[in-house]
Structure 1
Amino acid sequence: MNPINHWEIKPFVNELTSIVLGQLVEKKAEKERWKKALNQWGSSMIFVVIATFIYLYYFKLKTASSYINPLTLLFGDEMVWICTAFLIYSGFQIMWMKKKYKKADDDYEAIRTDFIDRNEEWWSDEEQWEKRHIVFEFMKKNYNINIFHK
């Protein structure tokens, strides 16, 4: 939903302000989407590492005889290779997602700071200027976007 079509703030914004606030909400949503994906991949990596250690300890090292080399057990097991491949793939995914998250965060911050810097331009008449705090509070409350200050 476009935040500017909301009945609470519709009378207090003009066309240009509504476009910029809409872009701000979209960039914030994109940033949050990349952050969520990054956290999910990181959590899955941690889960796989823990599951691999549990698998190795309880199913391989406990059941192996004492004369077998542990490195042979480790590198001879295909489950370990599958987990290692997943961890390498996850590492590359996380590096790629960090770049995307950083770009989305930079875009969001650029629009937000530009909006704050050019605050006088967004409110066309005196009534809108006096009631701009309603828009600021609405954006903070509903979208967690702070446009009060940098």
Structure 2
Amino acid sequence: MELEIENLDDRTDPATKRMLQNVIDRKKKFDRYKSRHLMSVWVTIGLISVYFYYLYITVLKPYSYSFAEIFSVYVQNSANLYFLILTVGTYGLMILFKEKREKAEKEYQALRCEIVDRSKDLWKKEEEWKNRHIVFDMMKKKFDINLFHENK
């Protein structure tokens, strides 16, 4: 459990601490997939750019006078097939990371909204209710998790 969550003392009960820890874990998972997806997007764009430049230099420019010649030269060179497979593979990886990112975001937002909805139940006592803003401020500052409103 995060040190900040453990140091909340009387402001929250153990079940609420566990919920806060779960939302932190899901936020980290979402951030991890978000960065992986962004990296895969840039790798895919870079590979596509390099591949098209390679095709332009080796196939299109020297054999631009005939489409049949372009096709023949393209098919004869096996490096084109490997480069095409690599590029399509990174595109597929990018799509996979996008789906995982969306799933992780959905889980994170659902738990975050549940905490916002149930805040009256989680901080039942009058003193806890008055001090909940301290918990919310800590979550916003330390982990960039907004528990004040349901909207992103």
**TM superposition score normalised by structure 1:** 0.85
Q: Which residue of 1 aligns with 2:136?
A: 136
Cα distance, 1:63 vs. partner?
5.0
Cα distance, 1:66 vs. partner?
5.2
* Cα RMSD after superposing both structures: 2.1
Are 1:107 and 2:111 matched, yes or no?
no
Amino acid at match of 1:92: G
Number of residues paired by the alignment? 148
CA distance in 2, matches of 1:62, 1:86: 23
Q: Which residue of 1 aligns with 2:36?
A: 37
CA distance in 2, matches of 1:112, 1:22: 11
Q: Which runs of 5+ in 2 are unaligned?
A: none
Q: Residue 14 of structure 1 contacts residue 124 of structure 1 at CA under 8 Å; is this kept in 2?
A: no
What is the correspondence of 1:61-140 to structure 2 with a 5 Å cutoff? 61-62=60-61, 69-140=69-140
Cα distance, 1:53 vs. partner?
1.6
Amino acid at match of 1:33: R
Q: Residue 44 of structure 2 contacts residue 94 of structure 2 at CA under 8 Å; is this kept in 1?
A: no
Cα distance, 1:48 vs. partner?
0.6
Q: Residue 63 of structure 2 contacts residue 69 of structure 2 at CA under 8 Å; is this kept in 1?
A: no
Deviation per CA, 1:48-95, whole angstroms, max 9, x where unpaired?
A: 111112222234444558568122222322222112101222232233
Cα distance, 1:127 vs. partner?
1.9
CA distance in 2, matches of 1:77, 1:57: 14
Amino acid at match of 2:115: F
CA distance in 2, matches of 1:65, 1:91: 28
CA distance in 2, matches of 1:58, 1:90: 22
Cα distance, 1:15 vs. partner?
0.9
Going from structure 1 to structure 2, the CA distance change for 1:128 and 1:76 (only over 3 Å counts) comes to same
**TM superposition score normalised by structure 2:** 0.84
Amino acid at match of 1:84: L
Q: Which residue of 1 aligns with 2:5?
A: 4
Amino acid at match of 1:16: A
Give the secondary structure class of the aligned counterpart of 2:148. Answer: coil
Give the secondary structure class of the aligned counterpart of 2:128. Answer: helix
Q: Residue 112 of structure 1 contacts residue 147 of structure 1 at CA under 8 Å; is this kept in 2?
A: yes
Give the secondary structure class of the aligned counterpart of 1:145. Answer: coil
Identity %, equivalent residues:
27
Which deviates more from structure 2 when the two are superposed, residues 53-62 or residues 122-131?
Answer: 53-62
Give the secondary structure class of the aligned counterpart of 2:103. Answer: helix
